[in-house]
Chain A
Amino acid sequence: MSQYTRDYNMPELMAATAAREIQDGELAFIGVGMPLMAATVAKFSHAPNFNMMVEYGAMGPAPLRLPMCVDCAVNNERAYFAGSQREVMGAQQAGFVDVACISGAQIDKYGNLNSTAIGDYYAPKVRLAGSGGANDLASSAGRTIIMMRQDGRNFVNEVDYLTSPGHLSGPGAREKAGLVGSGPAAVITTMGVYRFDAETREMYLEKIHPGVDIENIKKAVQWDLAISPHLTETELPTEEQIMIMRTLDPLAVYLGTGRQTLAGDFEAFMAMFENSYHPMIKLMRSKGMM
């Protein structure tokens, strides 16, 4: 077993925590960013038989480099399948996907997410990206894992726009609406880990990240937050988990400040590929995946 480490940043802790939500043998639906890091960590550590689908038409890629987007050429690299979006999204709707990672800008106590607009939809204070695949996955995936920043204002009583359904208005609401998936199972934020009560479908705090004050969590949630009587501290990442993330993403494009440093710097971008090529081959070989 790899040793725990305290050499990590918050996105790395979130990715490592999400990786532990993925079980071996599962079929997952994964976007880029933190979920991709979580999926890669899972694949290279405890879940070698786990495979991922990518939204624009790929399944089971085993790339030696960092994917840039869900429609990226990297998702074809040594994949089991490459083709249409209808295949992967259709399979998803038909119930073939065990777990999906999604996100949002606002969340309520039932795990309903907003990624469309802050304020009035018709005259938004902030217009956001829109659903993308998040609503689809929230509707039909076996379960969802939500990963998001918790900024003190975005755990709200009511989301401004319900983009992706969580447990809607509580017990039985998803079934009544006709949704086939079981909805959110966990919420991993910059402060802790939350789950949903089987009876009330309400979110409760299960784990608190190292160094986070529980009073600050309560202040960051608009409703009266339920707290697990078995509240524990979030498990630290292992050295191996961190090594995997930093091998695939050496400039911390997804888990740090890489995007700022790469803007306009083509040579640094090319060097990122050059420098991670052999370490990734070594990592793949050490896991018997190449």
Chain B
Amino acid sequence: MLFQPMPVKKGRAKPPTYKIMTAKEAVEKYIHEDCYLGMTVSAAPAALIWEIVRQRDRIKTLDLVITSQIGMSSALIGAGLVRKIEMGYNWGGIEGEDKVFRRAVEKGIPRPLEVEDYSNFGAAMRWAAASMGLPFMPTKSQLGSDIIKYNPKIKVMDDPYTNQPIALVPASYPDVAVIHASRADEIGNVQCFGLYGNTDTLARSAKHVIVSVEEIITSAEIRRMPNLTTIPYYYVDAVVHAPFGAHWRESNYYYHHDLAFGLDAYRQFATREGFEEWAEKYILGTRDWNEYCQLVGYDRLYRLMQSEHKYQQFGEVR
């Protein structure tokens, strides 16, 4: 007998400690060369993505995993950071055709981009699997399509219980997830107002999670409505205070989508030079998110907020 206690494994939980830092600090600390980066929409993590672009000389290369993205992945692709993208959808939505994405895939400008296609739900199920510590998830999507033909990672098998064909997608564990949400306390309990897409499963899948929020609130306020907590603190590494942090896209109940800005951006993304001028002005030409907001104009941002509040505020019933 050794009479020594058996070795035990420690859980993966992040501690309930003070996690507020600037976007610059969070990106410097967690995002490095060859990082496998996860992000989603609802809401768009613009403040964090802009900071990644500012640090592109250090970061150099990223592999992206998304479900859908509009704009954010294009900023990274246009900046020459992205080597590969695993995706369900990457385009401009209402802003239209994504020429940044097209140039990268079709012509290798500014660098060749490898694409691994899934359906949206197929891509989302990879995080559903990872969020529960499972190696894969079965789905009824993608069967019979070329998505499976051209993506060897998706396997089709007969379900051992019903003998019906089923598609399996592998779990995706990003090195880092960048997320924008409504509000959080200083230890990283994150609450989302309204729809939040697959923010929940993404946060649960990543090794490190950086969340930017519209508001920092007290833990007492979190405890008043715990059912709004989409991401509990034990998943979160860093909390960044970034009011208007999803502009030009929207943040539920905070401010409206700035379509005039988005359409204008996509118009400039039509050429490589146009994209670079735009990125030079709005991303590289600003030191931080506050400077970006000043450049866009806080009066404009507050009008987008007023416009949203004219239609809806969280908890209000008309």
List residues of chain A with CB under 8 Å of any chain B CB: 32-33, 54-58, 63-65, 68-78, 82-86, 89, 92-93, 116, 121, 124-136, 139-140, 161-165, 168, 173-174, 176-180, 253, 259, 262-266, 268-270, 273, 277
Contacts and interface: CB of A to CB of B under 8 A. Distances in A.
A165 B145 contact: yes
14 contacts: A56-B41, A68-B93, A71-B195, A72-B257, A84-B196, A85-B42, A130-B91, A140-B140, A162-B145, A165-B145, A179-B140, A263-B260, A264-B261, A277-B310
B212 interface: no
Interface in B119-158: 119-122, 124, 128, 139-147, 149-150
Contacts of B197: 56-57, 71, 84-85
A33 B121 CA distance: 21
Contacts of B8: none
A84 B118 CA distance: 19
A127 B195 CA distance: 30
B101 interface: yes
Interface string B250-288: 111110111111011001000000000000000000000
B117 interface: yes
A277 B308 CA distance: 12
Nearest to A133: B120
A245 B253 CA distance: 25
Contacts of B91: 128-130, 132
Contacts of B42: 56-57, 71, 85
B260 A58 contact: no
B263 A262 contact: yes
Closest A-B pairs by Cβ, 3 of them: A177-B144, A178-B165, A129-B91
B311 A266 contact: no
Contacts of A86: 124, 128, 198, 200-201
B195 A129 contact: no
Contacts of A116: 117, 146-147
Q: Is the interface of B mostly helix, strand, loop or mixed?
A: mixed
B260 A57 contact: no
A273 B201 contact: no
B106 A130 contact: no
A91 B203 CA distance: 22
A71 B260 contact: no
A223 B150 CA distance: 26
A135 B101 contact: no
Contacts of B14: none
Interface stretch (B16-24, B82-90, B218-226, B235-243): B82-90
Which of B88, B102, B200 has the most chain A CB within a 10 Å cutoff? B88
A54 B195 contact: yes
A93 B139 contact: yes
Contacts of A70: 68, 93
Interface of B: 41-43, 67-68, 70, 87-91, 93-94, 96, 98, 101-102, 105-106, 115, 117-122, 124, 128, 139-147, 149-150, 164-166, 193-198, 200-201, 249-254, 256-261, 263-264, 267, 300, 303, 307-308, 310-312, 318
B141 A177 contact: no
A133 B121 contact: yes
Contacts of B43: 71
A124 B146 CA distance: 15
A253 B252 CA distance: 21
Nearest to B230: A84
Which of A73, A130, A132 has the most chain B CB within a 10 Å cutoff? A73
Contact of B140 (A68, A129, A180, A269): A180
Contacts of A126: 102, 106
Which of A76, A130, A163, A263 has the most chain B CB within a 10 Å cutoff? A130
B312 A266 contact: no
A266 B247 CA distance: 14
Nearest to B113: A127
A87 B147 CA distance: 23
B124 A73 contact: no
A162 B36 CA distance: 28
A287 B263 CA distance: 33
Which of B41, B140, B254 has the most chain A CB within a 10 Å cutoff? B140
Nearest to A95: B140
Contact of B147 (A74, A93, A133, A163): A163
Contacts of B101: 127
A97 to B, nearest CB: 12
A69 B311 CA distance: 17
